[in-house]
C-alpha cells in the first residue's frame, strides 16, 4: 500500500513540476514575443536625442509624451502629415509631428510611423526632444513648438559613393530638375508639399529627384528651406550620382535610378465654384381684372407722361 501511495505522490509531484515548467515556458515565450516586437524595429537612417532637457519617469511631461505619441497616428491630415500637442503651454507640454514621404502608400506610412514611435522611445528614453529619420517617414517630438518652425539645428546628409562620369553635364542636368521640383513642392498648398520627377542625364542616363516640405510651412518658407538644402549639393555631393539631405521641415533626394513610386496619389484639383443662376427679375403682377399686356401699356404711358411734363 505504501508503495502505491509513494507512486501517486511521485506522479503528483511530477505533474506539479510539469505544470510549473509549462507555465514558465509560456511565460518565457510571451516575454520573448514582447521583447522581439519591441526591439525588432528597423534602424533609423539617422536620429538625434536632445540632451539639453530631460524628464523623469511618471512626471507630467512623461505622461503627456505617452498620450501624445499614442494618439499621434490618429491625426493624419489625409496626405501623411501628423501633428499632436498635449499640455497647457508650460514646460510639460509635448509637441509632436510626423511626415511620411509623399509617394508611399497609407499602410507603409502607418507602419513607418509606428516603428518610429517605438524606436525613438527606446533610443531616447528620457530626453524631452528627439527626432528619427526613416526612408519613408520622419518623427519628431519636443517641449518646444514645432509647427511652422524653420529653425535648423543640424543637417543630415547621405551621399552615394559613386561619381558621375561627366560631372559638369550631370550637374547641368540636375540643377534645373531640382529647381523645378522645388517650385512645384512649395506651391503644393496646405495639405501636401511634395514633388518628384526625372530628367535626362549624360550618356543616355536618367536623373530622378524628390523634394518635400511639411505642409504647415508657408510657400515662401518651404521654398527657402529647399533652396538652402539644394544649394549644398555643390558643397557635399559635387559629382556624386546620388545624395539626400534630411531636415525636420524639408528634405530632398536625387539618384541615377528611380527610387520613388510614380503612381503615388496626387491631390486632386479643387472643383470649380458652382455658379448659381441669377434670380429672375420680378415682373409686376396685374391688378384683378387686368392682364399683363395692359399693365405694361399703363407703365409705358406713365413713363412717357413723366418724360414730357418733367423735362
State pLDDT tens for residues 32-86. Answer: 333 334 456 799 999 999 988 999 999 999 999 999 999 999 999 999 999 999 9
pLDDT (average), residues 102-121: 97
Q: How confident is the model at residue 161 (pLDDT cuts 50, 70, 90)?
A: very high
Q: Quick one: cell of 168?
A: 559638369
Sequence-distant (6+) residues with CB within 8 A of 19 are: none
Taking residue 280's Cβ as centre, other Cβ atoms within 10 Å add up to 6
Strand order in the sheet with 127-133: 46-54, 127-133, 137-142, 94-100, 81-86
Q: Residue 211, exposed/middle/buried by CB under 10 A (0-12, 13-18, 19+)?
A: buried
Instruction: For residue range 252-288, list pLDDT tens digits in order.
Output: 999 999 999 976 544 333 333 333 343 443 444 444 4
Q: Quick one: cell of 172?
A: 547641368
Distance between CA atoms of residues 174 and 165, nearest Å: 14
> Which position has the grid cell 496626405?
79
pLDDT for 300 = 52
What is the CA 36 to chain-centroid distance, rounded?
27
> Which position has the grid cell 472643383?
271
Amino acid at each position: 500500500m505504501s508503495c502505491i501511495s509513494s507512486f501517486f505522490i511521485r506522479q503528483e509531484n511530477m505533474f506539479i513540476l510539469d505544470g510549473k515548467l509549462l507555465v514558465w515556458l509560456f511565460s518565457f515565450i510571451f516575454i520573448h514575443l514582447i521583447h522581439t516586437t519591441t526591439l525588432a524595429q528597423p534602424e533609423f537612417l539617422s536620429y538625434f536625442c536632445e540632451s539639453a532637457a530631460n524628464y523623469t519617469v511618471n512626471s507630467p511631461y512623461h505622461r503627456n509624451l505617452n498620450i501624445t505619441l499614442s494618439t499621434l497616428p490618429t491625426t493624419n491630415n489625409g496626405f501623411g502629415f501628423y501633428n499632436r500637442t498635449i499640455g497647457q503651454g508650460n514646460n510639460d507640454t509635448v509637441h509632436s509631428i510626423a511626415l511620411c514621404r509623399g509617394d508611399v502608400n497609407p499602410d507603409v506610412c502607418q507602419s513607418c510611423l509606428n516603428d518610429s514611435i517605438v524606436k525613438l522611445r527606446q533610443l531616447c528614453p528620457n530626453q524631452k526632444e528627439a527626432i528619427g529619420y526613416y526612408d519613408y517617414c520622419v518623427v519628431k517630438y519636443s517641449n518646444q513648438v514645432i509647427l511652422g518652425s524653420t529653425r535648423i539645428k543640424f543637417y543630415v546628409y547621405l551621399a552615394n559613393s559613386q561619381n558621375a562620369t561627366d560631372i559638369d553635364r550631370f550637374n547641368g542636368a540636375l540643377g534645373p530638375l531640382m529647381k523645378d521640383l522645388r517650385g512645384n513642392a512649395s506651391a503644393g498648398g496646405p495639405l501636401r508639399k511634395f514633388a518628384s520627377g526625372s530628367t535626362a542625364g549624360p550618356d543616355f542616363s536618367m536623373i530622378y529627384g524628390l523634394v518635400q516640405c511639411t505642409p504647415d510651412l508657408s510657400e515662401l518658407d518651404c521654398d527657402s528651406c529647399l533652396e538652402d538644402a539644394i544649394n549644398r549639393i555643390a558643397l557635399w555631393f559635387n559629382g556624386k550620382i546620388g545624395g539626400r539631405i534630411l531636415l525636420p521641415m524639408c528634405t530632398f533626394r536625387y539618384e541615377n535610378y528611380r527610387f520613388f513610386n510614380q503612381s503615388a496619389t496626387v491631390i486632386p484639383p479643387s472643383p470649380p465654384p458652382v455658379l448659381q443662376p441669377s434670380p429672375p427679375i420680378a415682373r409686376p403682377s396685374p391688378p384683378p381684372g387686368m392682364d399683363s399686356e395692359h399693365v405694361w401699356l399703363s407703365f409705358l404711358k406713365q413713363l412717357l407722361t413723366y418724360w414730357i411734363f418733367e423735362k
